[in-house]
């Protein structure tokens, strides 16, 4: 294992020539050897001629999987292909600053025993209702964690460097389609009782997913991944029971509906099935106003959509895995201490509960 050597591991399905060449041609740090491993997880993808040529001449290593195995398996293959002490994980759609490797190399020289270093991934300014909602909701906030924290327990694998000597040999859990980065990095950090050192100067830029189009599947998959993550033994200690969210509440109401009809109070369930989504929308509209400084009803809708797609994915995962203990369970994503307190309130939950109460009283008043 070479202490002054860096393996760059890039899993890819797209084989985006421009993005990959931007990473491949980064200036190497003086005194460091840089190896690049591109793992194509799409056997049907056409390999650009320039990438193929670089592989043939030994400048990079390109491995094409015989079938789609997922990002976790692709990263694991890239990690196992190399033997450098330092592993830089990058996404295939990031555009790094030219000094990226120089910044990481300097950090290595200053702290050779660090478990790793977390870089920053910037997204462009929001430009439409979808991207503004993603920004307000905080979907991209985890990519900026190293900006405001001296160290982190996890950071997205779009831009993070790991010390091979300190990684868990199990690597990424290949059964997880999403949230595998949280699982691996938190598991690694807790095992070592060390955190990754933040490097705000190690910067890459990430474009908006699908050019800013609605992110239904992505958010649902994020939620489903978090649902599976919550059931893992190590992560379970950092979960807590909370008030039911909108999808969970609607599911409970639907299950109660036949009993309510038999009891002659079906109108109560019907009213709540209208009130709950309406209060969710009103809360997100207020969130757009207060946090996003916009009165846009469209942005409010996308805030509602992002949140409920994620929560529906979490609920789907809970039902699919027949995990009753996963119902109304949340992960404390800061992983600050085990067994966090339950039923946490914040201003948005308080606002939503107030709106539900007001609307319920209005319906009861009109009924009487």
Q: Are residues 244 and 208 in the same domain?
A: no
Tell me the CATH number at 89. Answer: 3.90.550.10
Q: What is the pLDDT of residue 368?
A: 63
When pLDDT is averaged across residues 107-132 and rounded to a whole number, the result is 96
Q: What is the pLDDT of residue 66?
A: 83
Q: Are residues 303 and 154 in the same domain?
A: no
When pLDDT is averaged across residues 21-45 and rounded to a whole number, the result is 94
Helix, strand, or coil (residue 102)? helix
Residue 221 counted as domain residue: no
Q: What is the pLDDT of residue 147?
A: 94
Nearest to 143 by CA among 125, 122, 161, 115: 122
Q: Are residues 250 and 150 in the same domain?
A: no
Q: What percent of the chain has pLDDT over 70?
A: 99
> What does the alpha-carbon distance between residue 223 and residue 219 come to, in Å, rounded to a whole number?
6
Kindly report the number of other CB atoms within 10 A of residue 357's CB atom: 12
Q: Are residues 244 and 289 in the same domain?
A: yes
Residue 276 counted as domain residue: yes
Domain range for 95: 5-212
> What does the alpha-carbon distance between residue 298 and residue 93 come to, in Å, rounded to a whole number?
28
> What does the alpha-carbon distance between residue 129 and residue 106 come to, in Å, rounded to a whole number?
40
Question: pLDDT tens digits, residue range 196-226?
Answer: 999 999 999 999 999 999 999 999 999 999 9
Q: What is the signed CA dihedral for 347, 352, 353, 356, rounded to 10 degrees? A: 160
Q: Label residue 113 exposed, middle or buried (CB < 10 Å: 0-12, 13-18, 19+).
A: exposed
CB 185 within 8 A of CB 179: no
| Residues 6+ away with beta carbon under 8 Å from 148 | none
Q: Are residues 258 and 306 in the same domain?
A: yes
* Total domains present in the chain: 2
Q: How confident is the model at residue 67 (pLDDT cuts 50, 70, 90)?
A: confident
Question: pLDDT tens digits, residue range 288-319?
Answer: 999 999 999 999 999 999 999 999 999 999 99
């Amino acid at each position: 294992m070479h202490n002054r050597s860096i393996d760059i591991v890039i899993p890819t399905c797209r084989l985006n020539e421009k993005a990959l060449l931007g990473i491949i041609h980064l200036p190497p740090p003086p005194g460091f050897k840089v190896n690049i491993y591109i793992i194509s997880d799409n056997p049907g993808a056409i390999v650009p001629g320039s990438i193929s040529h670089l592989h043939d001449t030994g400048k990079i290593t390109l491995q094409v999987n015989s079938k789609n195995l997922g990002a976790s398996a692709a990263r694991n293959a890239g990690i196992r292909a190399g033997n450098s002490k330092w592993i830089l994980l990058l996404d295939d759609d990031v555009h790094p600053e030219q000094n990226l490797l120089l910044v990481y190399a300097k950090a290595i020289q200053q702290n050779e025993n660090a478990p790793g270093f977390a870089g920053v991934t910037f997204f462009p300014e929001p430009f439409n209702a979808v991207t503004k909602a993603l920004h307000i909701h905080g979907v991209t906030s985890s990519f900026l964690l190293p900006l405001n924290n001296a160290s982190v327990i996890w950071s997205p694998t779009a831009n993070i460097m790991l010390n091979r000597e300190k990684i868990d040999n199990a690597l990424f859990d290949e059964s997880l389609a999403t949230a595998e980065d949280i699982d691996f990095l938190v598991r690694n950090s807790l095992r070592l009782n060390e955190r990754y050192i933040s490097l705000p100067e190690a910067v890459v830029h990430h474009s908006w997913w699908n050019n800013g189009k609605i992110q239904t599947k992505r958010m649902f998959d994020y939620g489903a991944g978090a649902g599976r993550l919550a059931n893992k033994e190590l992560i379970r200690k950092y979960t807590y029971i909370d008030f039911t969210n909108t999808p969970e509440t609607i599911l409970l109401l639907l299950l109660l509906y036949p009993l309510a009809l038999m009891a002659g109070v079906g109108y109560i369930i019907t009213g709540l099935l209208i009130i709950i989504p309406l209060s969710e929308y009103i809360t997100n509209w207020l969130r757009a106003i207060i946090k996003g400084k916009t009165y846009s009803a469209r942005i409010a809708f996308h805030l509602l959509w992002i949140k409920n797609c994620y929560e529906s994915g979490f609920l789907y995962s809970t039902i699919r895995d027949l995990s009753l203990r996963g119902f109304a369970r949340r992960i404390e994503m800061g992983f600050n201490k085990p067994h966090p307190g339950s039923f946490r309130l914040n201003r948005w939950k308080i606002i939503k509960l107030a709106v539900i109460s007001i609307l319920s009283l209005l319906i009861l008043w009109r009924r009487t």
